[in-house]
């Protein structure tokens, strides 16, 4: 008998979860003994990033024992009995609405069967998502990372881009001009540019060396830095003005970027301004 899993459902104990409009990202601990993992079907497309333990997978290209770190992509409707050796491990699962994959020309090279992903860009992007899940994750950066991961998974031949398409400049301006909107979605930016979010991620990566979400975070942090240099504004006010969900969201971004919370960063900047100039000679 095949067990049918609902979207976002996996064998394991949920440790953390972040839901978005087109994805769910979950971090789980595998605790079920191997004998309790039955043949099952996933209705949604999903990635599995093995963070610890040894994974037994029937995905194309997977070794008999896939030790962490390992990354597997399963298209919608996958039936398998993938499991952890000894029933012990930790993994991150990224579930994607299948409707977002249907008929998308930008995804014509996505594998049609379960695949073990060994390409460095795929693993690098997946691990960036795992790191972002710690603390107070940025929903926009997670969304952008998922689109980027799909773009990296696509293996269709690509034309060399000598000059960025004109719509990229529109998308760039949309990100830069709307960064103060905490509810800004990368999907909305792509829709306004008339392209698929995966194609948006691919062109940004090729042309600018970053994802739209990374550009958005840079813009928000840059704006927050300018405001922190001004006395009289609280950190909470600055977080709201710069487009962060709340003060903890800003603090998480600053710790990742500078290794300091915004208050400590501000004190450090003011101390630097107060230092007397060096004596000549």
User: What digits encode the pLDDT tens for the residues 50-109?
Assistant: 999 999 999 999 999 999 989 999 999 999 999 999 999 999 999 998 888 776 677 788
Does 206 map to a domain? yes
Q: Among 84, 117, 150, where does a domain finish?
A: 117
Are 102 and 202 contained in the same domain? no
C-alpha 256/C-alpha 220 separation (Å) is: 13
Domain count, the chain: 2
pLDDT in the model for residue 281: 45
Are 42 and 99 contained in the same domain? yes
C-alpha 166/C-alpha 170 separation (Å) is: 7
Are 172 and 95 contained in the same domain? no
Are 113 and 179 contained in the same domain? no
Whether 25 contacts 93, CB under 8 Å: yes
Does 35 map to a domain? yes
Does 150 map to a domain? no
List the chain residues with pLDDT less than 70: 21, 103-104, 135, 158-162, 272-281
Are 244 and 170 contained in the same domain? yes
pLDDT in the model for residue 158: 65
Q: Residue 53: name the closest of 69, 33, 73 by CA.
A: 69
Are 90 and 180 contained in the same domain? no
pLDDT in the model for residue 40: 96
* 58: CATH: 2.60.120.10
Does 137 map to a domain? no
Are 95 and 183 contained in the same domain? no
pTM over 0.95: no
Are 111 and 176 contained in the same domain? no
List CB contacts of 67: < 8 A, sequence separation 6 or more: 50, 54, 55
Which structural domain, as residue segments, surrounds residue 98?
A: 3-117
pLDDT in the model for residue 11: 95
DSSP-assigned beta bridge partners for residue 70: 50
* 238: CATH: 1.10.10.60
Does 76 map to a domain? yes
User: b or e along 156-188 (b: 16 or more beta carbons within 10 Å of the residue's beta carbon)?
Assistant: eeeeeeeeeeebbeebbebbeebbeebebbbbe
C-alpha 129/C-alpha 143 separation (Å) is: 9
Does 20 map to a domain? yes
In angstroms, the Cα distances linking 129 to 173, 184, 218, 236 are 25, 19, 17, 26
Does 157 map to a domain? no
Q: Residue 60: name the closest of 41, 76, 43, 78 by CA.
A: 78
Whether 179 contacts 173, CB under 8 Å: no
Does 176 map to a domain? yes
The structure tokens 């040894």 sit at 54
pLDDT in the model for residue 126: 93
Are 113 and 21 contained in the same domain? yes
First to last CA, the chain: 85
């Amino acid at each position: 008998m095949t067990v049918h899993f609902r979207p976002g459902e996996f064998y394991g104990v949920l440790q953390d979860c972040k839901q978005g409009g087109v994805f769910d990202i979950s971090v789980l601990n595998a605790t079920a003994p191997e004998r309790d993992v039955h043949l099952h079907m996933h209705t949604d497309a999903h990635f599995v990033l093995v963070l610890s333990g040894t994974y037994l997978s029937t995905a194309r290209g997977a070794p008999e024992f896939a030790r962490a770190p390992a990354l597997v992509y399963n298209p919608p409707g996958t039936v398998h009995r993938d499991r952890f050796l000894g029933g012990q491990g930790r993994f991150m699962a990224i579930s994607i609405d299948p409707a977002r994959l249907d008929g998308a020309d930008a995804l014509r090279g996505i594998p049609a069967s379960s695949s073990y992903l060994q390409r460095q860009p795929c693993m690098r992007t997946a691990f960036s998502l795992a790191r972002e899940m710690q603390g107070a994750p940025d929903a926009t950066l997670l969304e952008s990372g998922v689109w980027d991961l799909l773009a990296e998974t696509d293996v269709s031949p690509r034309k060399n881009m000598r000059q960025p398409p004109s719509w990229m400049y529109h998308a760039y301006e949309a990100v830069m001009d709307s960064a103060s909107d905490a509810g800004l979605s990368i999907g909305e930016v792509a829709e306004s540019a008339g392209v698929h979010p995966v194609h948006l991620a691919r062109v940004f990566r090729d042309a600018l060396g970053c994802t739209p979400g990374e550009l958005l975070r840079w813009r928000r942090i840059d704006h927050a830095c300018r405001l922190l240099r001004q006395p009289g504004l609280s950190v909470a006010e600055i977080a709201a003005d710069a487009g962060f969900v709340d003060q903890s969201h800003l603090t998480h971004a600053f710790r990742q970027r500078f290794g300091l919370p915004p208050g400590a960063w501000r004190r450090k900047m003011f101390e630097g301004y107060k230092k007397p100039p060096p004596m000549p000679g």
